[in-house]
Amino acid sequence: MINKNILLGVTGGIAAYKACALTSKLQQQGANVKVIMTDNATKFVSPLTFQALSRNPVYTDTFDEKDPEKIAHIDLADWADIIILAPATANIIGKLATGIADDMISTTVLATKAPIYIAPAMNVNMYNHPSVIKNMKTLTEYGYHFIEPGSGYLACGWVGKGRLEEPETIIQVIQSHQSNGNLLAGKKVLISAGPTREKIDPVRYFSNRSTGKMGFSLAEAAAEYGAEVTLVTGPVFLDTSHKNIKRINVTTAEEMYQAMLREFPCNDIVIKSAAVADYRPKVVFDDKIKKQAGSIKFEMERTKDILAELGSKKTHQFLVGFAAETQNVLEYGKEKLHRKHLDAIVINNVSQEGAGFESETNIVTYVNRNHEEYQIPVALKSEVARQLLQLIWRDMKDEEA
């Protein structure tokens, strides 16, 4: 952040008070900070506070031209190396997504070519509203970067996702992204995600608890790092928003096997994070099985081992597997690393709180084929994904050297 020109946009939410700490910490990091506030933001925190913390004038009015030789919002748009919107309300997100420029922040942001980081803060129900989700997806497609809000007790009394991320975390995420923005530029990355479904009859299937969040986080992070990403996913309720991600939807283990083998040869990094069914029913019924007295049995047969097959066909690819275990976690994970000819494996204990399926967070151990272990403590899956890709990039560089 040293000597970086940071333009901080503060919009009208109770979390505006955290922007004061963010301004101070950016200053302490050596950044030059200027602040723009919406009219509603000034009702929560005085512009004088930000002026004292930033040691620069605070901008609130598009038509208040402090220097007659310059147009203020264009001058600020050109001056900024980085723009941060924190807190970002549903209102400013909606404006930017639809191209509305009716105040100092929106006119400046729409006129800049600097990277833009948005840290939302709002009620949990607002954050999950379809229109807000759509607007955030649109902005992501435009190249904006989102710093996800935290979960917890909100000022409105609700408990859930929507709390502005802490200033230290916001700075850390931006620093990480800035330093690794082109980490995987020119690389092709193949990722599998989610569960598979193995049909029993027209209305039933066998599956598992995977939501695909870890694989999708890896795909988004790889795309942000400049890679061309192919994501092969089982049936999940997740969207892909980055323009550098090609999505292939599959349902069964066999469909995922065919898709992964087809895409495998032309990729540089391959990460199999999908929870693929190990078994499927040997007989699939054409008609719905009717309820009957007593128990029912299904004979199961093995599905193809996708990861082992990829390991046997590997040429130049850096191949990474996942091991979701509940006991002897490291032992089983390392055995899988060698048996399937992997370059690295990501091991987690899915019975551990904060890790595994149906969770926003994860706790993992990354082990490469040299038996070097790296612990990633509990963190959002998006952050875990970024750290994993940095480890993969480092190991690939070591091999090339």
Q: Which pLDDT does position 68 carry in this prediction? A: 79
For domain 188-278+296-400, give the fold. Rossmann fold (3.40.50)
From 52, 74, 156, 283, active-site residue = 156
Render pLDDT for 119-156 as a digit per residue (tens, 0 to 9): 999 988 999 899 999 999 888 878 888 998 877 777 77
- Dist CA 110 CA 347 (whole Å): 43
Binding positions for CTP are 278, 288, 322, 336, 340
The answer to whether the bond into 87 is cis (omega within 30° of 0) is: yes
Below-50 pLDDT ranges, the chain = none
The whole model's pTM is what?
0.70
Q: Which pLDDT does position 401 carry in this prediction? A: 59
Q: From 3.40.30.10, 3.90.1150.10, 3.40.47.10, 3.40.50.1950, which CATH number describes the 5-179 domain?
A: 3.40.50.1950
- Dist CA 50 CA 14 (whole Å): 15
Domain ranges within the chain, ordered by starting residue: 5-179, 188-278+296-400
Radius of gyration of the chain (CA): 24
- The closest of 298, 314, 93 to 205, measured between CA atoms, is 298
| Average pLDDT over the chain, rounded to an integer | 92
For residue 20, indicate whether it is catalytic. no
- Dist CA 230 CA 248 (whole Å): 7
Q: Which pLDDT does position 199 carry in this prediction? A: 96
Tell how many helices (H) and how many strands (E) occur in the chain: 13, 20
